[in-house]
Amino acid sequence: MKFNKFGAIALLCGVTLCFGVQAYETTAHNAILMDYDTGEYLLVKNITEAVPPASMSKLMTVYILMSKIKDGSIKLDDTFSVSENAWRKGGAATGGSTMFLSIGDNVSVENIIKGIVIQSGNDACIVVAENISGTEEDFAVLMNKTAKQLGLKNSSFANSTGLPHPDQKMSMEDLAILSREIIKEFPDLYHYFSEKEFTYNNIKQGNRNPLLYSMKGADGLKTGHTEEAGFCLAASAVKGDRRLIGVMSGMNSNKERSEEAERLMSWGFREFNNFKMFSKDQTITTAKVWYGKQKTVDLTVAEDVLKTIHLSQIDNVKTTAEFDEPIKAPIKAGQKVGELKISIADKNSLTVPLVAAKDVEKVGLLGRFWANVKYFVFGAK
């Protein structure tokens, strides 16, 4: 039969903006705030709408390049050559941001990374595309393939730079997922996003990310701006042992972008916190065993269970352990035998597998015979 064990846990719960929390109003047309550790969304506004991402789409170009560095196929001290096409399409004459590369330059990969994440160089992005895939068009194919592999559902790419194109679109949700992957996958390379200035060709440029200058703990990721996209930002900041990722687009000025990003991040740190609800291998409950050499088996969770909570909801968490009891032997340690459901006021449910804490061997034929006799005489106990 299905057995439910129900309990309430004070000071341990999880909630997103959608569940019982006073709404946060943002001036951004599209916005998301994500907790890095749990992946939970603290604020959502038009997050699946595919919109022009401007230079925020350079994060995909950087992701592909850093993936090549991580797998060893490209090294930081390798050099990329600068074609006339990269110089012409990504240079200052186009009116976009540039690293000020020169035709025929052989630029270290490390400097190319800085030219993209600090200076937002369109020329640097095209150099990456051509040196990895031959042409920017072929690199866009790789970008789209990578997006699918990462589970980005509302993104399409036509170039490496984010310059306006009808097929260059990303959602705020996809950008948050991509930002999280960059931070998680490339801890040895992520520091470039926090560098405030870079000089190339005797031209010094500052990082365009406004939070690096105004908010303690801000350490990335990428701004964007075109007339169609408005002022945009994918940002990350750390406070204590927490990291938040915020992505927003459609703002009207650099000032609005800066102020709204800091306001959103500060709200997230102030209103929410992370709590370890259960620890790996912690016994959650005990289940009866049928045909086993032991009469019971402890049920546990295989990994730490961390939840992001709004501080106004700390008394409203409920947990329910669901499993079929008795559990028939043999049972293997780590075998999933049920589910642990965690919710706030019956909403925002998180489901975690319940697993057996140890092996339980099956009794022999005689043991099974006596178990059947006891069942028919005394019933299930």
**Phi and psi dihedrals of 191, rounded to 5?**
-60, -20
Cβ distance 306 to 37 under 8 Å? Answer: yes
User: Dihedral (C-alpha) 79, 81, 86, 88: value to the nearest 10 degrees?
Assistant: 130
User: Dihedral (C-alpha) 288, 291, 295, 298: value to the nearest 10 degrees?
Assistant: -50
Count CB-CB contacts under 10 A for residue 269. Answer: 19
249 annotated active-site? no
List helix spans (H) across 272-364. Answer: none
List of E strands, 172-217: 197-200, 203-206
Cβ distance 280 to 334 under 8 Å? Answer: no
User: Of 55, 97, 179, 343, which is the active-site residue?
Assistant: 55
Peptide bond before 210: cis, by omega within 30 degrees of 0?
no
**Phi and psi dihedrals of 284, rounded to 5?**
-95, -45
With H, G, I as helix, E, B as strand and everything else as coil, classify residue 71. coil
User: Of 45, 58, 89, 169, which is the active-site residue?
Assistant: 58
Adjacent-strand bridge partners of 272: 310
Count CB-CB contacts under 10 A for residue 295. Answer: 12
Adjacent-strand bridge partners of 296: 288
55 annotated active-site? yes
With H, G, I as helix, E, B as strand and everything else as coil, classify residue 308. strand
Residues in contact with 174: Cβ distance below 8 Å, sequence separation at least 6, in sequence order: 147, 152, 153, 154, 155
Distance of alpha carbon 308 from alpha carbon 9, whole angstroms: 14
Quick one: which H or E segment has residue 219? strand 218-226
User: Of 120, 171, 236, 343, which is the active-site residue?
Assistant: 120
120 annotated active-site? yes
User: Dihedral (C-alpha) 252, 203, 165, 59: value to the nearest 10 degrees?
Assistant: -80
Q: Is 335 exposed, middle or buried (0-12, 13-18, 19+ CB in 10 A)?
A: middle
Quick one: which H or E segment has residue 354? strand 347-356
Distance of alpha carbon 48 from alpha carbon 56, whole angstroms: 16
Catalytically active residues are: 55, 58, 120
